[in-house]
Structure 1
Amino acid sequence: MFVANYLKTGLAGIDFTDCSIEKYMFHIRKTNELWNRLSKDEKEFTNACIEDLKQHLEESVLSKLPENYQSVLKQSVTSGEDDMVRSYLRIRIQKIEKYMFHIRKTNELWNRLSKDEKEFTNACIEDLKQHLEESVLSKLPENYQSVLKQSVTSGEDDMVPEPQLDTFVLCRSKEYLTGIQLEDGPVDDRSKLFEMEPGVLHFICYKSIKALVESGKIDLL
């Protein structure tokens, strides 16, 4: 309770009714006034929570990412920047939830997930299927009861949302790159190769630089 009271008075305007040592462990660990108020057992508990989280992130998430992402997130965890890590994981989970059917049937994406994320994806798919079948699909004609297709006559899974790779993104190259094939603009221009100077900002179709982003040569901003 002392942690909750301290945060309520020290960080005005934020509701900390669900405050706990586990939730604010990084903040507590790097704040001497809070750390010194913990008992010996509470300090051991806090350190154990931090180490468990680090291990979980490294085994289930960080090891699946490009090396440049790994170094940034590892540094974030080590320095106690838990808000950044939580934000990253929250966005990652949201994307999995949004595109779970597409991820499940696409080997390239499925193999990027950790064991826990695969279990989470499968659970989400089963939960959504059950919900749709019980609340909607069971009440429709048999030809329209598919979760993935509009009807049995559909040639593909036309009810499965997919990421929009033709979205334009702001990016910056880490090195001089040439031979980039543009995927947007007039048809005549798509045969032209594009160059990127290191450190220069570009607003470009994601599909054109997808492989370079995944290899760590280009950063999205």
Structure 2
Amino acid sequence: MDPNDSSQRDQSGQPSTSGMHHEYATQDGSLDMGCSDFELLKRALLNERMAPEILQYKEELVERVKAGLKRQETEIDAMEGQRDYELVRQVLSYEQDRVRFLLKAYLRARLEKIEQSAGSMLDTEALRERLSKQERSYASSFFVAMGRYMKSSVLNDLPPNYQSLVKRYEGEAEKRLLDTPDEAKYVFARVLDDCGQVPDGPDGQTAELRRGDTMAIKYTTVKALVEAGQVCLL
């Protein structure tokens, strides 16, 4: 960024400090219209922390945020040593730290879930597809390392029929030792867009979700709406 370039100044004549706050809309033009990447990242972090299962990796959002951080780093470096822009430089640096914190928190939240349920994620195609390439590699390495540790510390001392990492005993049909998320648990949610009546129970019960509502509700009821961006977990 050239501080003397008028095309990079805001209406006050100062260099732009927009940083991560670029307008973004989904491909279908719905819901996220006008949301900044910073707000979308906060929403992704909340959803990931509160959902009982691992959610789809937000690859496009993460890559945009990384690119924005790189652009902002260039702007900050260009202001180095220029006293007239020292305040702007500090503001940009603080904003960059804030975005980096959110990005790292989002990635850490996903890694925690992977470490808790690496076996089931690797065993279930639908869950594997939600992981990034790096996350799949990490899940595989983590599961192998944990398997070696469990075998050397415990399993090798048990009878052969009870040395499996995924089954309670050899010959069991189901892999009962693999953790599965409790999707029936209650979560706090905020409705971002009118959803109308949605199924909420095995006997045909429904719940009306109106924009602005905040409620405690079963995750299974809002799971698809969270994925669609119509509901945000709290």
What TM-score does the superposition give when structure 2 sets the normalisation length?
Answer: 0.59
Q: Distance in 1 between matches of 2:165 and 2:115?
A: 15
Alpha-carbon shift at residue 66 of structure 1 (Å): 8.0
Q: Distance in 2 between matches of 1:169 and 1:195?
A: 16
CA distance in 2, matches of 1:129, 1:64: 26
Say which of 126, 133, 140 aligns to 1:108.
Answer: 126
Report the AA paired with residue 192 of structure 2.
K
Q: Partner residue of 2:227?
A: 214
Q: Displacement, 1:64? A: 3.6
Segments of 4+ moved more than 4 angstroms: 75-78
Superposed counterparts of 1:52-201, under 5 Å: 64-65=57-58, 70=61, 74=65, 79-80=95-96, 81=98, 82-183=100-201, 190-201=203-214
- 2:59, 2:132 within 8 Å by CA — same for their partners in 1? no
* Partner Cα distance (1:208, 1:66) in 2: 25
Q: Secondary structure at the match of 2:152?
A: helix
- Aligned equivalents of 1:96 and 1:206: distance in 2? 19
Residue identity matched to 2:151: E
State the percentage of identical aligned residues.
Answer: 27
Q: Name the aligned partner's letter for residue 65 of structure 1.
A: K
In 2, are the aligned partners of 1:175 and 1:198 still within 8 Å (CA)? yes
CA distance in 2, matches of 1:124, 1:178: 42
Question: How far 1:198 moved relative to its partner?
Answer: 0.2
- Shift of the alpha carbon at 1:153? 4.1
TM-score normalised according to structure 1 size: 0.62
Q: Is the 8 A contact 2:197 2:209 kept in 1?
A: no
Give how far 1:88 is off: 1.5
Distance in 1 of aligned mates of 2:150 and 2:104? 30
1:84 to partner: Cα distance:
1.7
Instruction: Give the Å deviation of 1:155.
Output: 2.4
Query: Secondary structure at the residue paired with 1:191?
Result: coil
Q: CA RMSD in A?
A: 2.5
Query: What SS does the aligned partner of 2:207 have?
Result: strand
SS at match of 1:89: helix
Unaligned residue ranges in structure 2 (runs of 5+) = 1-16, 18-55, 73-94
State the AA in 2 paired with 1:163. P
- Indicate the structure whose relative CO is greater, using CA pairs within 8 Å and at least 6 residues apart: 2
How many residues are paired up? 152
For the Cα contact (< 8 Å) 2:196–2:209, is it kept in 1? yes
Q: Return the alpha-carbon distance in structure 1 between the equivalents of residues 167 and 197 of structure 2.
A: 39
Structure 1 unaligned runs (5+)?
1-29, 31-62
Structure 2 residue aligned with 1:6: none
What amino acid is aligned across from residue 194 of structure 1 in structure 2?
Answer: A
Deviations 1:38-60 (A, max 9, x none): xxxxxxxxxxxxxxxxxxxxxxx
